[in-house]
Structure 1
Amino acid sequence: MKNLLPLLLIIALLISCKQKTNTISEKPKDYSSLKDSLTSDLNILKDRKNIAGFSTAIINQDGILYNKGFGYSEIGNQKEYTESTIQNIASISKTLIGISLFKAQEMGKLNLDDPVNNYLPFKIVNPTYPNIPITIRHLATHTSTIMDSDNFWENTYILKKTDHSKSVSVFGYMKPPDSKIPLADFLKSLLTDNGELYIPDNFSKEKPGEKFSYSNLGATLCALVIQSATNTSYDKFTQENILKPLEMNNSGWSIRAVDSTKISKLYANYESVLADYSILTYPDGGLLTSSSDLSKLLTEFIKGYAGKGTLLSKESYKKLFENQLSESQMPEGTEANFGIFLDFSKGFMGDNFETIGHSGGDPGVVTGMFFNPNTGLGRILILNTDSDFDDKVIPQFKEIWSAMNTYGNKLNGEKPVATNAHSK
């Protein structure tokens, strides 16, 4: 034993030294200079003064890698736009409908292949094909044949007040405050043949389920189905089953639900503030949130894709991320497909790789929220400036989006991760 003791001590010492060496090599990298460089590049873009204010976030399944605001939420008061600034995010809001559908299905309240008329307080049929039922899945994949006619666009944006100064932009399709009616009444008016706003153009001539045609009205109807099936208002259902569990404490569907002091003004262009408005069909685009809060949702999507989500079961997430459209259903000339209120894009804002998520646009709003399923890297970009009145806004969005990808890959270690738990 005495002869073995020195040898054992040497082995123990070598193991100890190796462990110390491993500990040193596994020390987290310092990315502060990389983040500073990204901030510097985005400040240069901000200084062009095409976009009043914007916020960016870069995310992976572990959380936020970078999150910062630029420009102003109120130019007149020089109030800075930060990562905590709140505004509506347009059609990214629809991704909550998708999660809500599967949550309601897990609760036994509905099935995605059920006809919508099993749940609605009024009956909806395509007048060209009255005997073919429109299903929940049709709504969720934009194949329902329900269209966004002029009657929809001209009645969904409601002004917060009647009188505005000359310096405030008021778009002609925005309705006065007293035009606001309950969501179910609005949908009934548009989609039932005796409704005040009903016109045949509210439906396409295709068979339900035959062709993809993006529909805000159909998405909102899907939220009403969830509301009717669960006997819970859609805003409360999403609050209880999505926002609260993810601790998205600065998000909600109305000014009353968030800190109003953090809400950004919206701009028609850099020089002109836009009149305050609400969206009558709020489920299709009215979520108020910040890039910090929205990052929690995107992190959950990335985790869900990897089979590690917390809001839904693995099986539900698998179905959420499945391609829903056949080649014959897809729009001609596109490589994109669609999940359940998720866009599987290739080429969003110049990307040359596949992404999963959603984009959005409303008066004074341009947004993007996507992740790369092969690397697990996610990006969020929220603008408070309209893109219709300045042709430099979208090109600048693309520059910011591209910079976020370049720096994001470095912040993410530039290593593909095993996120593809659900092959498509």
Structure 2
Amino acid sequence: MKNTLLFLLVSTILFSCKQKEASHKTLKRDYTAINDTLTNNLQSAFKKDAIIGLSVSVVDDQGLIYENAFGYTDIALTKKYTPNTTQNIASISKTLIGVSLLKAQEMGKLNLNDPINKYLPFEITNPNFPQTPILIKHLAYHTSSINDLDEVYSKSYVLKKSKHNENEGVYDWFGMPESKISLIEYIENSLTPEGKWYSKDMFTNSKPGELRAYSNIGAALCAQIIEFATGQDYQAFTKDYILKPLKMTSSGWSSKDIDTTKRSRLFANKEMLIAEYALITYADGGFITSNRDLGLFLTELMKGYKGNGELLSKASYKKLFEKQQFPNIETGEQFGIFMEFSNAFIKIKDNVIGHNGSDPGVMTAMYFNPITETGKILLVNTDSDFDDNFWPEVVSIWNALIKYETTLKKEQ
């Protein structure tokens, strides 16, 4: 009788273990087929030959699902672009300002409803509405009424060296190395009446907080305010509260932060590089990272959206993604703190959440779809203005990622 009971017990345990093993194997689906299809579709898109180098990745709130890279990082076309290749990512950089801003608020260093002049060594007001203060949240939602005049904002782009090779293109509005100044000097020169570039046209004719008008200078000012409020350099702040916690070891704000041997040059086309430059308003577009590192950040944003983030509290993430709508945005798009809710980037059915970016030699996109619960990243090291096939190639790449995302959702 005891032997019979022992046999039954062992049999039950073994059966239970097999069930768990089978269940575990069921959860670990084999995505080889759809991954291969995506790779083939991306290779076909890349054959349009307008983009020199690119990387893509697909993530969810658990981490990386797919990554790949195509093309090259040097003019000789010998160094392969990989998921670990680094480049600056243009305006996606602003999403770090959003996270940093809410971290500073959590720390009690500032409040989104504070006037910006509480933290500045000089006063900034819209001369058309001098009695209406610009608040920190106005910077975060691009409703500050600060205007990006081309002749002023272009002064942010500064060449890293004075002399260049014949295959290094220089835009005539790039400043020479000796024109580089600090961010706070740039802001004072641009936005205060005593500044040498100041004019009333630096501000719109709408009250602060009333209408949305995208402002790179306003975003950079927000990073400067974080610096004054916390007493910590903004670059160091992002390292301490974003990069280190997420183990983004290939990311930073300058060459000294990264392995320069893995950094891509930026291209006009296969025959012409873009001369190396830096941004005085670095926080609005100068972040340097790899696709793999940026995937860690996007995964964290997706966790935060679902209330499980590590960098910010649940309440702060709720604020980051709290939808705002503005009367002058006729498309009905909504916005979070340095975050877009939109289908405007490569027209698609679902609204996605994130940001894109563009700079000389750079085109980037980072979005996640709350319906499919997947995120997509595209980093490109080529300028969009020199080849008519550029945007058709980008559209083909993005559509391939959307098709993969849709198929992935069906198979889960």
TM-score normalised over the length of structure 2? 0.95
Once the two structures are superposed, the pairs formed by residues 310-349 of structure 1 within 5 Å of their partners are: 310-326=310-326, 328=327, 330-332=328-330, 334-349=331-346
Residue number in structure 2 paired with 1:422: none
Gap regions ≥5 residues in structure 1: 416-424
Instruction: Tell me which residue corresponds to 1:50.
Output: 50
Greater CA drift, 133-142 or 28-37? 28-37
Cα shift at 1:200: 1.2
Matches within 5 A, 1:194-209: 194-209=194-209
Shift of 1:166: 2.4
Q: Counterparts of 2:271 and 2:77 in 1: how far apart (Å)? A: 13
CA deviations 1:341-399 (Å, max 9, x no partner) are 00111242122101100000000000000001122100000000111222321221111
Residues 104-160 of structure 1: per-residue CA shift (max 9 Å, x gap):
001100000100000011110000000000000000000000010023232011111
Q: CA deviation at 1:305?
A: 0.5
CA contact (8 A) 1:87 1:288 kept: yes
Letter aligned with residue 127 of structure 2? P
Deviation at 1:46, TM superposition (A): 1.9
Answer yes or no: is the 8 Å Cα contact 1:145–1:206 preserved in 2: yes
Which residue number corresponds to residue 418 of structure 1? none
| Aligned pairs for 1:277-356 within 5 A | 277-326=277-326, 328=327, 330-332=328-330, 334-356=331-353
- Report the counterpart of residue 367 of structure 2 in structure 1: 370
Q: What is the rounded CA distance, in whole Å, between the counterparts of 1:224 and 1:335 in structure 2?
A: 30
Look up the SS of the partner of 1:302 in the other structure. helix
Residue 382 of structure 2 aligns with which residue? 385
Q: Give distance in 1, aligned partners of 2:52 and 2:391.
A: 13
Within a 5 Å distance, the mapping from 1:391-406 to structure 2 comes to 391-406=388-403
Equivalent positions of 1:24-173 (< 5 A) are 24-27=22-25, 28-173=28-173
Residue 413 of structure 1 deviates from its aligned partner by 5.5
Q: Which moved more, 1:26-35 or 1:162-171?
A: 26-35
DSSP-derived class of the 1:30 partner: coil
Question: Which segment drifts farther, 17-26 or 209-218?
Answer: 17-26
Q: 1:189 and 1:25 mapped to 2: Cα distance? A: 64
**What is the Cα deviation at residue 69 of structure 1?**
1.2
- Judge which range, 390-399 or 129-138, deviates more: 390-399
Hey, what does 1:258 align to over in structure 2? 258
2:21 to 20, 23, 34: 23
Farther off after superposition, 92-101 or 397-406:
397-406
Give how far 1:240 is off: 0.7
Deviation at 1:47, TM superposition (A): 2.5
Tell me the amino acid that sits aligned with residue 350 of structure 1. K
SS of residue paired to 2:245:
coil
- The code of the aligned residue for 1:384 comes to N
Contact 2:87–2:288 (CA under 8 A) maintained in structure 1: yes
> What is the rounded CA distance, in whole Å, between the counterparts of 2:411 and 2:324 in structure 1?
30
- Given that residues 325 and 333 in structure 2 are in contact (C-alpha distance below 8 angstroms), is that contact kept between their aligned partners in structure 1? no
Q: CA deviation at 1:18?
A: 5.0
| Count of paired positions | 410
TM-score, with structure 1 as normaliser: 0.93
Q: Distance in 1 between matches of 2:323 and 2:284?
A: 21
> SS state of the match for residue 265, structure 2?
coil
Give the Cα–Cα distance (whole angstroms) in 2 for the partners of residues 225 and 153 of structure 1: 19
Q: Aligned equivalents of 2:230 and 2:13: distance in 1?
A: 60
Indicate conservation of the 8 Å contact 2:55/2:70, yes or no. Answer: yes
Deviation string, structure 1 residues 21-57 (Cα, Å, up to 9, x no partner): 4422431122233322222221222232110000001
The answer to whether the 8 Å contact 1:347/1:353 transfers is no
Tell me, in whole angstroms, the C-alpha distance in 1 between the residues paired with 2:8 and 2:150: 83
- Measured after TM superposition, the shift of residue 10 of structure 1 is 4.6
In structure 2, give the amino acid aligned to 1:264: S
> The residue matched to 2:155 in structure 1 has which SS?
coil
Structure 2 vs 1, CA of residues 77 and 52 (structure 1 numbering), >3 Å: closer, same or farther?
closer
Could you tell me whether the CA contact under 8 Å between 2:153 and 2:217 is conserved in 1?
no
Task: Tell me the CA shift for residue 6 of structure 1.
Answer: 4.9
Aligned AA (1:300)? E
The DSSP-based 3-state class of the residue aligned with 1:369 is: strand
CA drift at 1:412: 5.1
**Residue number in structure 2 paired with 1:249:** 249
- Residue number in structure 2 paired with 1:407: 404
The farther-off stretch of 403-412 and 113-122 is 403-412
Q: What percent identity do the matched residue pairs reach?
A: 48
1:13 matches 2:11 = yes
Q: Which runs of 5+ in 2 are unaligned?
A: none
- In structure 2, the residue corresponding to 1:73 is in which secondary structure? coil
Could you tell me how far apart the structure 1 residues matched to 2:6 and 2:263 are?
A: 66
Q: 1:172-191, aligned counterparts within 5 Å?
A: 172-191=172-191
Q: Over aligned residue pairs, what C-alpha RMSD do you find? A: 1.7
Shift of 1:409: 3.6
